[in-house]
Amino acid sequence: MGENFTHNEFSPEELERLDKQYIWHPFTQMKDWLRDTPLIIASGEGSYLIDVQGRRYLDGVSSLWVTVHGHRRAEIDQAIKEQLDRISHSTFLGLTHVNAIKLGQKLVESVSPDGNSSQKLAKVFYSDNGSTAVEVALKMAFQYWQQRQQCHPTKTRFISLVNGYHGDTIGSVSVGGVDLFHKIYHPLLFETIKVKAPYCYRCPWNQSYPACASKGIDQADCVQEMAETIQLYRGKVAAIVMEPLIQAAGGMLIFPPGYTHRVRELAAQHHILFIADEVATGFGRTGALFACHLEGVEPDIMSIAKGLTGGYLPLAATLTTQDVFDAFSAEYSEKKTFFHGHTYTANPLACAAALANLDIFRREGTVDRLQDKIAYLKEGLLHFQALKHVGDIRQLGFMVGIELVRNTDTKEAYPYEDKIGIKVIQEARRMGLIIRPLDNVIVLMPPLSVSKVELGRMLDITFDSIKKVTE
Ligand SMILES: *Cc1c(COP(=O)(O)O)cnc(C)c1O
């Protein structure tokens, strides 16, 4: 290890200089970046990332929530290599190919495991990232009401949630609700109906769970607010779009049990399409293959991306019911075609990776085997409560958010400029763990393949880093 780097013509110092000269990094304040020493990754293995100096780091956020069965999984590596020997890309506009067909079937079977209902997801539309998978969902939902048999031209608006995150393209930002990322673009966005979302630690209605739902989740203010909004905009809403069960980039905000299910029901009752953005939650993250399964939710449209290729290659999909699909099926001359498609749609290498990824899920029973590690993680998080500046610990499966606060009694937040989350992750990095915060929330998103020993070490380093920075 270490000698065979393909970039061995560049020293680490040269790489740093060139990065700083040429590169603009995403979601990164480049002024800070230029001051710091970048970590330059050369390779990976299992739960580890390895830098150009050969130092090993635990990948505590699965390379931004995508790695599933670890880095360099032999079966996925092999599937891509085999596909390389056939063809790397051919267009999906007017042609089709073997891997995308096989994957389409597998995806439909996976999202609706006991799917006989007429409402089940039945069609797969490919794209290449989470944002496009959401854009596609929005455009489909809009067009659906304009051109289905019983057309509803007034159903043009979208309901989305405060603190929701659906990607960075303008359409997905329009339905987003994270001010820090989205506010500046406001004049550019299409107008949506933003509903306050449950954030139980800082309940917008000053209630507390489970007391707020003692008479059923239906009576909780968060559900009431959604129900009232739907009433108010009766006949004008094309779709509700939300992340099921947990708002990930918004800060790992977990909805009270039953909320997602109830919103889905309300949507159905009022003839509003329900779009589940499973980009973050899909592929085992929550402890089920898809978060919707945890509450028996069957969406009309589902967006998936991050874990789809096991964290190997960019690929996304938007799945729809037969009913949605049928609204686009007409004579050529009627111009009801879905005029949308990205150049690298359904890339065969990415589809090969996705097939191998799903195959490992099936063969190894990844989701079943995860349950024990989820319990271990839960147990390990318990003693974080003793830390003086840990306000809230949120966990859904293998998604964890630890919210740091200045004062746990008042829940006073650390100011943005304190960069408290960044300081914690820098400390963790010195101890050999890569994590990335969401403002004041420390995120842990280990690969599903992580061992208990590795998981224990991630927890220890995170604990020590928080303690060191905040106490
Ligand atoms: C990451 C994310 C997206 C955007 O995906 P990209 O591949 O980064 O465009 C959309 N929705 C959710 C819920 C996400 O977590």
Q: What is the pLDDT of residues 224-257, one digit of tens each?
A: 999 999 999 999 999 999 999 999 999 999 999 9
- CA separation for the pair 226, 159 (Å, rounded): 9
Residue 277 has phi, psi (to 5 degrees) of -90, 95
Query: With helix as H, strand as E and coil as C, how does 9-20 read?
Result: CCCHHHHHHHHH
261 dihedral zone (left: phi>0; alpha: psi -120 to 50; beta)? alpha
Q: Which of 174, 307, 179, 192 is CA-nearest to residue 250? A: 179
Protein residue with least CA distance to atom 15, ligand 1: 280
pLDDT of residue 26: 97
| Mean pLDDT, residues 23-51 | 97
CATH class label, 12-72+366-470: alpha beta
Confidence of residue 183 (pLDDT cuts 50, 70, 90): confident
Domain spans in the chain, listed from the N-terminal domain onward:
12-72+366-470, 81-364
199 dihedral zone (left: phi>0; alpha: psi -120 to 50; beta)? beta
Confidence of residue 115 (pLDDT cuts 50, 70, 90): low
Going from the Cα of 447 to the center of ligand 1, the distance in angstroms, rounded, reads 17
pLDDT of residue 9: 82
The minimum-distance atom of ligand 1 relative to the CA of 316 is 7
158, 345 contact by CB (below 8 A): no
| Mean pLDDT, residues 445-465 | 98
pLDDT digits (tens, 9 = 90+) for 143-163: 999 999 898 999 999 999 999
Instruction: Please tell me the pTM assigned to this model.
Output: 0.97
Q: Which of 223, 281, 292 is CA-nearest to residue 247? A: 281
Confidence of residue 33 (pLDDT cuts 50, 70, 90): very high
The minimum-distance atom of ligand 1 relative to the CA of 172 is 10
Q: Residue 78: which H helix or E strand, with range?
A: helix 74-84
Helix (H, G, I), strand (E, B) or coil at 187: helix
| Mean pLDDT, residues 16-22 | 98
Going from the C-alpha of 116 to that of each of 101, 103, 119, 280, the distances in angstroms are 21, 20, 8, 26
- CA separation for the pair 221, 243 (Å, rounded): 19
Position 53 pLDDT exceeds 80: yes
The minimum-distance atom of ligand 1 relative to the CA of 132 is 9
| Mean pLDDT, residues 340-345 | 96
Helices and strands in the chain: count of H runs, count of E runs: 16, 17
pLDDT of residue 262: 98
From 134, 135, 175, 313, the mutation candidate for ligand 1 (largest count of ligand atoms within 8 A of CB) is: 134
447, 62 contact by CB (below 8 A): yes
178, 250 contact by CB (below 8 A): yes
- CA separation for the pair 247, 394 (Å, rounded): 11
Confidence of residue 113 (pLDDT cuts 50, 70, 90): confident
Who lines ligand 1 at CB under 6 A?
129-131, 134, 165-167, 243, 248-249, 277, 279-280, 305-306
DSSP per-residue letters across 212-226: GGTT-GGGSHHHHHH
Position 2 pLDDT exceeds 60: no
Going from the Cα of 372 to the center of ligand 1, the distance in angstroms, rounded, reads 27
pLDDT of residue 101: 98
Protein residue with least CA distance to atom 11, ligand 1: 166
Question: Domain 81-364 classified CATH 3.40.50.720?
Answer: no
The minimum-distance atom of ligand 1 relative to the CA of 169 is 9
Going from the Cα of 130 to the center of ligand 1, the distance in angstroms, rounded, reads 4
